[in-house]
Structure 1
């Protein structure tokens, strides 16, 4: 359906080029020019259609020309699809181009890797777009990398309905497209990527284990749900190549084109609903609506990065969360939002927000012991040690409490951006940075000198960073997110945040 709809739009957009008066033409002599000699359709998963790519064909001559044939070399058997000057197909005859004019050819691809005699993990699928024939033949290469994957999706029933999960109760149902993982699906390996449609749910008292190097991709409005007493364990490990991250567990959308590599909101969330003892290590979560949504759950996060969340990176509601060596950035609202109290302990974490997709009215870190107007619960503790809280707004920390419930927090040896030039918060005791019961050894609003916030690179610069050498000894972990050992002496204190400072390359 998406393909047909896309072709209909394309046909409408270029209909004018097919509705022209008859004109005299000469045959093509092999002098066509092309916007590129090879069209690389970016990597796709088997059975998932590519984006639409375009090729422009130019007639630079002073005469109107007629191209006897434009076709795919594999003809009707090709897995590529064309739209030539507003007409869909795979073989075209008598394609005309006015003098000093051009036409567009739009190209798409869907390939089933299971049709091959063997079933490789990756397959380079190629074809050629041929213009004319004989001595006048010209060609443009078409190339696509196709990846095999494990597809997980809700069942479609004979009556046309789709399997659903009820996230509410019998009296107040809240249905979403989804399914419970079977016992034989509760281990994700690194042999093939996983592509999930709808919500894949971990049942009560079951554990989903994701091995080091695994890649999990989600279609639009999809995610993972861990039900009450269920557990999620990601066993990522430190990678040798920090660009490839070969041992990292990565959660992201199913659009593999470079244009989607940093696009927020492509899928929904990892949603913990009463999860017990979930642990994530060396894991990257990107391009979701919520990175992690922890609702009344227990969660340990070690060496976790969350980027490009259209709403919130880590939303914790009345949960118990421990985090170390975390980086969260680029969230449409907050990078970390704590609501309805709970228990929290963050060490050497970088909570930043350099959202550039539009206006942002929420701080990087928001802490509340309420949820809406009606609910409140004890914030038993929210401790931040050796952390960075920063971003491109003046105030990147928000504290809001109900006096009816406990509201205990402490920031220690951390860099916090909080500027109050007009004294709006001068009489609010929650923001009394001189109160050592709440704030100890805080550096306020000094640039951490991140290496490249647009590329989610939160290394800090040696010699200039406001986070350098301000950490408290003995907080741990002993090694930063790069694997560099932290300082731990009177002369060499650790730096705040997830990274020890480094020399930036010059130029």
Structure 2
């Protein structure tokens, strides 16, 4: 009998639950204008014109004891609105009889695109517009609304053509040594009137924009260049990139620097690596210069290819910062680079990789790697003299790799590796002078002459494994403090070549190692 009663009890409970779950006869009364909202204004982050925003949400609460139906939920601008809604899983701009049960809520998801072709949109002022709309709930005495606000920036858009019939996107063809090579890289060459980037409007690049053979792309101080996903910049054979940034009066605003970054302007994307591709200096591009630039949040910041014996170094980069890269800040392949007041940090592999030999001179530079997004295989600075393919390993000369008055540090150890394949027919020349270096070899894995720190041919007046006292490595603020062991260790001879630090502070009297003279942190 007891078992029967228990079985009957379980059956009744299950029936009651099932009947409630299948209930279709809720009695929904009209709303009375007493809705509550998770926010009274939804602020969508800054976007570019013609580019969609992220998705934002608004929660609508029915605090009453009655099931209610909202007669209308709609955008004030109607079908002409650049905002889009999704109400309880249904997309649109206007909705009727939206139901919310007692003591329950619903989500409204919001996106926007400001289409410059829409004649109903207001014009830009100083290349910006505060674009607004509102979500309206009900009418008359029960009317309620929630404001929608986003800042829209006008921009110069550079993108490849798409064939309307086939949907095929234009790809790049390059002239290499007089021969045409077709690629699968989506993009196009810059037109003659696009070869000067100014600070008047931001530039948004889709695909790869290529500087044509024999042309020069000049980027003026204060210019902002934004790359879409899988996009970047290519400097072709006999072409040149000249980035002419200038010292900013406020280092936090960077108003005079040139900035290369993603086209995602939302704060959540501010320091996300891998959002775009790379700036690629092709073999036989010439006389490339970068001064006062910030390059961030890509896959490889600068890919510098070939020409180790160029009359003028393939790349001269000064007073610049590179950070937040999925793979490398600088990936150099048998090339020539001069770097002064350079700061590189936070890369998934190496911040600076000097591969397959070449010729390099880094003075008063800070090469750091405090990557913490995943396991990191390589050190902050990687140097080798070979190129390995499926078929062979090719060795070439490392003519020189000099690091003078530098800091090479990070959250791993060691933070530099000299990966040489020895061969009597090639040279492997390098030297670290008056620098703060992180290198510990507790397992005795690194042996040979390259790691003989007493050999003054390769190492002179360096300090090892002492705290650099960076301000905030996670925010890429690598200025050094009053307690830094890099303070005062620089050689005056190198400081005279680079008399001011990256912030314009004179360093000739008592030079510190790295790109910054030390300061007292607040």
Same fold at TM > 0.5: yes
Maintained 8 Å contact 1:285/1:307: yes
Q: Distance in 2 between the 1:450 and 1:48 partners?
A: 37
Deviation string 1:195-254 (CA, Å, 9 cap, x unpaired) is 111111111111000000000011111100001111000110011121121111000011
Q: Distance in 2 between the 1:165 and 1:92 partners?
A: 46
Maintained 8 Å contact 2:173/2:180: no
Deviation string 1:131-185 (CA, Å, 9 cap, x unpaired) is 1121221111100111111011112234332211146988985421111111111
Asked if 1:217 is matched to 2:216, the reply is: no
The gaps in structure 2 that reach 5 residues or longer are 1-21, 308-313
- Match of 2:499, SS state, is coil
The Cα shift of 1:21 comes to 3.3
Maintained 8 Å contact 1:236/1:281: yes
Asked if 1:286 is matched to 2:307, the reply is: no
Q: Structure 2-normalised TM-score?
A: 0.89
Residue aligning to 2:435: 414
Q: Distance in 1 between the 2:383 and 2:401 partners?
A: 8
Residue aligning to 1:147: 153
C-alpha RMSD of matched pairs (Å):
1.7
Aligned with residue 399 of structure 1, among 418, 421, 424? 418
Residue aligning to 1:332: 348
Q: Which has the larger radius of gyration?
A: 2
Q: Distance in 2 between the 1:146 and 1:119 partners?
A: 9
Aligned with residue 88 of structure 1, among 86, 91, 107? 91
Asked if 1:430 is matched to 2:450, the reply is: yes
Deviation string 1:9-68 (CA, Å, 9 cap, x unpaired) is xxxxxxxxxx98341122222221111111111111111111111111111222211111
Q: Distance in 1 between the 2:154 and 2:23 partners?
A: 44
Asked if 1:204 is matched to 2:223, the reply is: no
The gaps in structure 1 that reach 5 residues or longer are 1-18
Greater shift in the superposed pair: 287-296 or 154-163: 154-163
- Match of 1:209, SS state, is strand
Q: How many residues align?
A: 481
Asked if 1:483 is matched to 2:504, the reply is: yes
Residue aligning to 2:27: 24
Q: Distance in 1 between the 2:222 and 2:315 partners?
A: 21
Maintained 8 Å contact 1:413/1:443: yes
Aligned with residue 167 of structure 2, among 133, 142, 160? 160
Aligned with residue 67 of structure 1, among 65, 70, 74? 70
Residue aligning to 1:369: 385
Maintained 8 Å contact 1:168/1:175: no
Asked if 1:323 is matched to 2:336, the reply is: no
Question: Aligned pair in 2 of structure 1 residues 91, 237: CA closer, same or farther (>3 Å)?
Answer: same
The Cα shift of 1:482 comes to 1.4
Q: Distance in 2 between the 1:450 and 1:117 partners?
A: 46
Residue aligning to 1:184: 193
- Match of 2:492, SS state, is coil
Residue aligning to 1:255: 264
Aligned with residue 451 of structure 1, among 471, 484, 494? 471
Residue aligning to 2:37: 34
Aligned with residue 138 of structure 1, among 118, 121, 144? 144
Residue aligning to 1:472: 491
The Cα shift of 1:422 comes to 2.4
Residue aligning to 1:11: none
Maintained 8 Å contact 2:239/2:286: yes
The Cα shift of 1:400 comes to 1.1
- Match of 2:301, SS state, is strand
Question: Aligned pair in 2 of structure 1 residues 113, 241: CA closer, same or farther (>3 Å)?
Answer: farther
Aligned with residue 276 of structure 1, among 277, 283, 286? 286
Q: Structure 1-normalised TM-score?
A: 0.92
Residue aligning to 2:48: 45
Maintained 8 Å contact 1:201/1:224: yes
Q: Distance in 2 between the 1:276 and 1:406 partners?
A: 25
Residue aligning to 1:238: 247
The Cα shift of 1:91 comes to 1.0
- Match of 1:474, SS state, is helix
Q: Distance in 2 between the 1:50 and 1:117 partners?
A: 19
Question: Aligned pair in 2 of structure 1 residues 406, 168: CA closer, same or farther (>3 Å)?
Answer: farther
Residue aligning to 1:378: 397
Maintained 8 Å contact 1:113/1:119: no
Maintained 8 Å contact 1:167/1:176: no
Asked if 1:355 is matched to 2:371, the reply is: yes
Question: Aligned pair in 2 of structure 1 residues 239, 148: CA closer, same or farther (>3 Å)?
Answer: same
Maintained 8 Å contact 1:55/1:106: yes
Q: Distance in 2 between the 1:200 and 1:20 partners?
A: 59
Maintained 8 Å contact 1:390/1:417: yes
- Match of 2:493, SS state, is coil
Residue aligning to 1:124: 130
The Cα shift of 1:84 comes to 0.3
Q: Distance in 1 between the 2:214 and 2:394 partners?
A: 28
